[in-house]
Amino acid sequence: MKVVLVDAGGTNIGSVRYALQRLGTDAELTSDAARIRAASHVILPGVGAAAPGMRMLREAGLVDVLRGLTQPVLGVCLGMQLLCERSEESDTACLGVIPATVKRFAEASGLRVPHMGWNTLQVTVPHCLTAGLREGDTAYFVHSYAVPTGPYTLAASEHGTPFSAVVAAGNFMGMQFHPERSAGVGAQLLRNFLSL
């Protein structure tokens, strides 16, 4: 097994890498297209905004590389959002492998944006990525934009309205929450991904 972390400037790369090391996997950090294509598993981490994230992928020549991957690919936090078709954040065209548009949480009385903290996960579709999740399991989120629920949703959460917490379309998967901060739940999902 050869796991790579796509180096697109995400600020959570170190913590995701450490979470993988705790599971016994040493992931290489790279922006080299050949190394990414040769990996058995590819993880696209990210924290920040959609437009700068996509700009970094374009400048590294990785947009078409990522779109063409056939091995398991996991987007984490912003990385999951970049797998979608578009983001309302700066009206950004993304990778387009998840058929969804990322939307900002609506401002509402008593609803804080960004959404920060622990939220319950509800598994909506059985999938090997979410194996072992139990009713009432929680994960740690920090985000202002979210993927609406749809046929790609494996697990949902809620902040004013339901949103996708875990998604999949073919070999492309994503987690909106931070697995490295989500204790046993995050470790279980990373373990499940590595077992694919």
Q: How big is the CA angle at 50 (ends 63 and 82), to the nearest 5 degrees?
A: 50
Helical H runs in 23-173?
33-38, 50-59, 63-67, 78-82
* Residues forming the active site: 77, 178, 180
Q: At 109, is the pLDDT very low, low, confident or very high (cuts 50, 70, 90)?
A: confident
What is the distance between the alpha carbons of residues 179 and 110, in angstroms, rounded to a whole number?
27
pLDDT higher than threshold 90 for residue 121: yes
Contact criterion met (CB below 8 Å) for 95 and 66? yes
What is the distance between the alpha carbons of residues 53 and 23, in angstroms, rounded to a whole number?
27
Instruction: Calculate mean pLDDT across residues 84-104.
Output: 97
Range of the domain at 127: 3-194
Q: How big is the CA angle at 144 (ends 73 and 71), to the nearest 5 degrees?
A: 5
Q: At 13, is the pLDDT very low, low, confident or very high (cuts 50, 70, 90)?
A: confident
Task: Count Cα atoms within 13 angstroms, Cβ side, for 88.
Answer: 12
Q: How does pLDDT run across 168-178, given as a tens digit for each residue? A: 999 999 999 98
Q: Which two tokens stand for residue 167?
A: 């998604």
Residue 147 is given by DSSP the state P
Find the CATH number of the domain harbouring 20.
Answer: 3.40.50.880
What is the distance between the alpha carbons of residues 59 and 188, in angstroms, rounded to a whole number?
33
Q: How many domains does the chain divide into? A: 1
Model pTM?
0.95
b/e map of 63-83 (b: 16 or more CB within 10 Å)?
A: bebbeebeebbbbbbbbbbbb
Cα distances from 173 to residues 11, 103, 117, in angstroms, run: 20, 18, 22
- Placement of tokens 């920040």 in the chain: 48
Contact criterion met (CB below 8 Å) for 3 and 194? yes
User: Which has the minimum average pLDDT: 15-24, 69-78, 85-94?
Assistant: 15-24
